[in-house]
Amino acid sequence: MQHSYWRQAISAEFNALIKNGTWTLVPPPKHQNIVDCKWSFRIKRNPDGTIARHKARLLQKASHNVPG
C-alpha cells in the first residue's frame, strides 16, 4: 500500500471488526486449514463527484465456502 488513505481505511475496518465483536484474532490451529481472505477497496463519492471516503472491506475467498 503506497497511499496512506488505503492504510487508514484498512485500519478503520479492522478496528470496527474487533470493536463490534465480529471476530477475534487468535493464533492459527496446528492441524486445520486457514480460510483465505482478501481486501476489497472502493472509493465512495459525493453526488457532485468528489471523493467522500476510501472504503476497505475484508472478504473471505469464495473458493473456501463450504455448504451447510
Q: What CA–CA distance (Å, rounded) separates 25 from 27? A: 7
Q: What CA–CA distance (Å, rounded) separates 10 from 55? A: 8
Q: What are the tens digits of pLDDT across the range 33-60?
A: 888 889 999 999 999 999 999 999 988 8
Residue 38 buriedness (CB in 10 A; 0-12 / 13-18 / 19+): exposed
pTM of the model: 0.67
Phi, psi for 13 (deg, rounded to 5): -65, -45
The tally of CA atoms less than 13 A away on the side-chain side of residue 39 is 14
Cβ neighbour number for residue 36 with a 10 Å cutoff: 11
Flag whether pLDDT at 66 surpasses 80: no
